[in-house]
Structure 1
Amino acid sequence: MTVNRDFKAILWDMDGTLADSEALHLRTLILVLAHHGVEAGDELHPLIFGKTGREVHALCCERFGLSTDLAAWSAFRARCYIEGARSLEPRPGARNVYRAAKRAGLAQAIVSNSSRMLLEANLNALDLQDPQLVSVSANDVRAGKPEPEPYERAAYLLRLHPNQAIVVEDSPTGALAAIAAGMRVLAWPLDDAGAALFHPAAQIVRSERELAAALNLPSLMTN
């Protein structure tokens, strides 16, 4: 059966969208802060959601009066993350949609605000390693999300115009980056409260099946 679509590729965010990794990112932040004598907890999550590691470091230095070096800070967090990533799980339903899109012959790429090291750890944990996979990390661009560069870079590598790609994001920050790049966005928040934070141009999907339907993937919709 031929399926008509108005896009040629799916660009996936990683953390929170494909990987259920937000709790692990928060845990590494709490650990590095404890290492520097700062006690913190879940209250930090809304402040760091969707931000790059560099932005989180700057935020914490300002908030807690720290003067720690970014390189040492990042290395400590990366070690903690790599250890925790061994037990990382995919977001429920996400890998089903990813694999259905692959079966349908759609081009796919992964666009993350995390460093290359952490992105590769996620790919390995989710069994998504592929020599042909296009992926963009914070190390591959000058400006991360919400700037459009990461998504523009992915479209360039796929040899597509930005309007030929559709983006799946769980964060308003990532959605803004994709919208700025001229792409259609499917926003897949964790809850209804999160849905209210997205730009009006983003189309909200609330489940694996709604996501599959928006991507016109009948093989999943009929399972």
Structure 2
Amino acid sequence: MMLKKVTHVIFDMDGLLIESESVYEKIVKDIAAVYGKEYTRDVRLKVLGTPEEDTARIAVTEMGLPISPEEFLIIFKEKVHEELQNPVLMPGAKELVRHFYKNEIPIAVATSSAQDAMELKTKNHQDIFKLFQHIVCGSTDPEVKNGKPAPDIFLACASRFPDKPHPSQCLVLEDAPNGVRGAIAAGMQAVMVPSSEVGKELRKQATLVLQSLNDFKPELFGLPARE
């Protein structure tokens, strides 16, 4: 596949910059267990990368939980607040963000998280998150009508850079198949750093698949190489 030169980089947050997906998995698993249901791999992959309302709807429907998505969301948000106070950064995240910042490459975050959840998860990593030009929170941003895998969040994120780059000038870094689909639908290239449970089929759409952010070579996309 031909890699095209880009000027701007958009990062996903959960599972890419911060290790929060395992916590989310535990939260949904715990809610399901209360009702004697199992949170299977298939359902997890459908949920991965979606905004909170979609997460609730998919979880309730797919697992046949005897509660409404609204009720699910109340329990879910409480647990997020308890358990996501201090997630760790993913391998290579800090180094890559700093590299782009130092080389004056415009960077932003497009996360399906709600604003309050994003603030909670990033509060102890402000040294890194303050380097981004802006952060778009899909669950609470009025401009993001449809969550990933729709392209809305990536188009909104691109339009908020001061120089308004064309989508083709933006590179998206993602871990979730839903995010990759959204980025491609937005007309952007997508580098995927998936968890091991994301199977081959779900990696196909990505422009490039990597084991970790440590393996990312910016020069492949016409960006300044690491020192």
TM-score past 0.5 threshold: yes
Q: 1:206 to 1:50 in 2, by over 3 A?
A: same
2:207 aligns with 202
Deviation at 1:106, TM superposition (A): 0.9
**Distance (Å, rounded) in 1 between the aligned partners of 2:131 and 2:94:** 18
Q: 1:170 aligns with which of 172, 175, 186?
A: 175
Q: Is the 8 A contact 1:38 1:64 kept in 2?
A: no
Query: Structure 2: where are the runs of 5+ without partners?
Result: none
Q: Is the 8 A contact 1:61 1:68 kept in 2?
A: yes
Q: 1:130 to 1:212 in 2, by over 3 A?
A: same
Aligned pairs (5 A) from 1:45-194: 45-127=44-126, 128-130=128-130, 133-137=133-137, 138-140=139-141, 141-158=144-161, 159-191=164-196, 194=199
1:218 aligns with 225
Q: One-letter code of the match for 1:87?
A: N
Q: Is the 8 A contact 1:26 1:42 kept in 2?
A: no
Q: 1:169 to 1:106 in 2, by over 3 A?
A: same
* Alignment deviations for residues 50-98 of structure 1 (CA, whole Å, 9 cap, x no partner): 2332223222322343353434422321221122222311111122111
Q: 1:84 to 1:217 in 2, by over 3 A?
A: farther
**Distance (Å, rounded) in 1 between the aligned partners of 2:86 and 2:104:** 29
Length-normalised TM-score, structure 1: 0.83
Residue 173 of structure 1: SS of its match in structure 2? helix
Identity rate, percent: 21
Q: 1:38 aligns with which of 36, 39, 43?
A: 36
Q: One-letter code of the match for 2:187?
A: G
Q: Is the 8 A contact 1:188 1:204 kept in 2?
A: yes
Q: One-letter code of the match for 2:121?
A: N
Residue 66 of structure 1: SS of its match in structure 2? coil
Question: How many equivalent pairs are there?
Answer: 215
**Distance (Å, rounded) in 2 between the aligned partners of 1:60 and 1:176:** 20
Q: Is the 8 A contact 1:108 1:133 kept in 2?
A: yes
